[in-house]
Amino acid sequence: MQIRNLGGSGLRVSAVGLGCNNFGQRTDLETSRKVIHKAIDLGVTLFDTADIYAGMGGSETVLGQVLGDRRKDIVLATKYSKPMSSDGTRQGASRRYILSAVEASLTRLKTDYIDLYQQHDYDPLTPIEETLRALDDLIRQGKVRYIGNSNFPAWRIAEAEHVSRAMNLSHFVSCQDEYSLVVRDIEKDLLPCAQEYKLGLLPFFPLASGLLTGKYKRGEAAPDDTRGNWDGPTRQAAPAKARRCAPTVRRSSVTRSCHGCSATSRGVT
């Protein structure tokens, strides 16, 4: 397994990370246990979850139950800011909420620290100065090692970088955004911004929810238990952009076959 620095930071992570959004949801505890231990055995060190995954806290709870002594062998990343209550009182990036959210995540994960704490979405109601000061305090307290963002527009990333420099605060070392051969919107401005400020990119849906795996064939119905079954029970799990691009992806299978490479390898790359 290749190990890389995350952006311009000293944090070393495996080139392939494990998304943990299905733990405690589509994947039960024992199946999750097998997946987690197998991933570690194969050299995967980056495990990415969020407080909202699996019914608000379910994924973090599974990781906390399974990792045990192997917690020290991984880079544990989680996120905050998405709604964790139906009344809108537990969400966002205010100092008050961040200090509460991190304690809840630490408890569920059964750990004393989070390696990478990511803001799941930008908060238009909270000044970025307040957010960065709270995150910097968590780093100084040893509860968080590094901070990142997710789903930020490029100008928000630039704003956060300049504020952190002006106030001498810890800055974001990563951004997590959708990116694949199918969905490439971030190439326009977010990727150049991330490169300028040395943020590492953690792409989600790199295989376009399975469209780039080669499991879907032109003229054939998608398997019932896949996200590509647009009329099946998992339809809502498939990104709308990927659905619109499905015909194009199927046509590209001819190109992949001619070059002798699998859809999966292209998707991961």
How much is the pTM?
0.85
**Residue 59 CB-density burial (10 A; 0-12 exposed, 13-18 middle, 19+ buried):** buried
| Confidence bin at 251 (pLDDT 50/70/90) | low
* Residue 53 annotated as catalytic: yes
Q: Tell me: do 229 and 135 sit in the same domain.
A: no
* 26 in the same domain as 10: yes
Does 175 lie in the same domain as 217? no
Locus of tokens 């490169």: 195
If asked whether residues 12 and 54 sit together in one domain, one would say yes
* Domain shared by 169 and 237, yes or no: no
**Strands 17-19 vs 46-48: parallel, antiparallel or unpaired:** parallel
69 and 128 share one domain: yes
Domain span holding position 193: 3-206
What pLDDT shows up at residue 210? 80
pLDDT, the chain, mean: 87
CATH number at residue 25: 3.20.20.100
Tracing tokens 């076959």 back to the chain, one arrives at: 257
Q: What are the backbone angles phi and psi of residue 23, rounded to the nearest 5°?
A: -65, 130
Q: Which pLDDT score, from 0 to 100, does residue 262 have?
A: 39
Instruction: Tell whether 184 and 233 lie within a shared domain.
Output: no
Residue owning tokens 């505890």? 29
The residue assigned the tokens 């398997």 is 223
pLDDT in tens, 116-134: 999 999 999 999 999 999 9
Last residue of a domain, which of 206, 222, 254?
Answer: 206
- Do 191 and 117 lie in a common domain? yes
Average pLDDT over residues 34-46: 96
Tell me what percent of the residues of the chain surpass a pLDDT of 70.
83
Count of domains forming the chain: 2
Selecting among 53, 97, 146, 216, the annotated active-site residue is 53
